[in-house]
């Protein structure tokens, strides 16, 4: 049974709801983790393709801007040489190229927006995967029972982050900010 029909479902579904409907939560979380990993692979491919498209458009835009400059200079040279018809043709070519540049600028803006959106979705899927893996680990090593209901998560074992995420520079900067804030409070 497939839980997720598209990548945004991975982000929007609550694991607790999926697990509550399951007769075998450990097996269900294993399937969920597997599906999220597949979604993550697809998201990575999408981000890579979007970045390549964005770069291709950026390269073509620079090339076309150079062509527009060339045709403008060519028109000036032709006019200086007294070749009005050739200057007119060069100006027409520059105008065509300017129109292409305008279209490419719009396409580049859209491609950049798409890449940024897909990158955000990728990070959200990575976060959802980390959450699912923590839940899966809880089935292997359940947290000790606590006297206060609703506080079981506080007593849960800490699960280490994967090495590639455990020393994220942004996280380290936020931790340093928290340290400074806490020192000021004391």
**In the chain, what are the domain boundaries?**
7-145+160-185
Question: In this structure, what token pair is assigned to residue 113?
Answer: 């927006």
Whether the per-residue pLDDT at 174 is higher than 90: the answer is no
> With bands split at pLDDT 50, 70 and 90, how would you rate the model's confidence at 154?
very low
Taking residues 81-98, what's their average pLDDT?
Answer: 96
pTM greater than the 0.85 cutoff: no
Q: How far apart are CA 109 and CA 115, in angstroms?
A: 10
Query: Do 44 and 70 contact (CB within 8 A), yes or no?
Result: no
Supply 186's token pair: 């004391």
Which CATH code of 1.10.357, 3.30.40, 3.60.15, 1.10.287 fits the domain covering 7-145+160-185?
1.10.287
Please, which pLDDT band fits residue 82 given cuts at 50, 70 and 90? very high
| Ranges 16-30, 43-57, 137-151, 155-169, most confident | 43-57
Q: Please tell me the predicted confidence (pLDDT) of residue 70.
A: 98
Residues contacting 157, CB < 8 A, separation 6+: 137, 141, 143
Q: How far apart are CA 118 and CA 116, in angstroms?
A: 5
Segment 104-121 shows an average pLDDT of: 96
Check residue 155 and give its pLDDT.
46
Compute the average pLDDT of residues 18-47: 90
- Please tell me the predicted confidence (pLDDT) of residue 149: 53
Contact 18, 32 (CB under 8 A): yes
Q: Rounded to whole angstroms, what are the CA distances from 2 to 10, 130, 184, 186?
A: 11, 19, 50, 51
The rounded distance, in Å, linking the Cα atoms of 15 and 21 is 10
């Amino acid at each position: 049974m497939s839980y997720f029909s598209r990548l945004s479902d991975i982000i929007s579904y609550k694991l607790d709801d999926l697990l509550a409907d399951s007769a075998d939560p450990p097996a269900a979380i294993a399937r969920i983790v597997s599906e999220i990993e597949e979604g993550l692979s697809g998201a990575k491919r999408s981000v890579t393709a979007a970045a390549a498209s964005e770069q291709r458009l950026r390269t073509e835009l620079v090339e076309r801007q150079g062509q527009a400059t060339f045709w403008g200079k060519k028109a000036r040279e032709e006019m200086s040489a007294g070749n009005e018809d050739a200057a007119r043709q060069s100006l027409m070519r520059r105008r065509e190229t300017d129109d292409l540049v305008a279209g490419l600028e719009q396409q580049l803006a859209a491609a950049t927006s798409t890449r940024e959106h897909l990158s955000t979705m990728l990070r959200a899927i990575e976060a959802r995967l980390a959450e699912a893996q923590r839940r899966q680990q809880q089935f292997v090593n359940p947290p000790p029972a606590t006297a206060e209901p609703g506080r079981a998560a506080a007593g849960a074992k800490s699960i280490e982050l994967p090495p590639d995420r455990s020393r994220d520079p942004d996280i380290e900067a936020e931790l340093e900010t928290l340290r400074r804030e806490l020192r000021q409070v004391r």
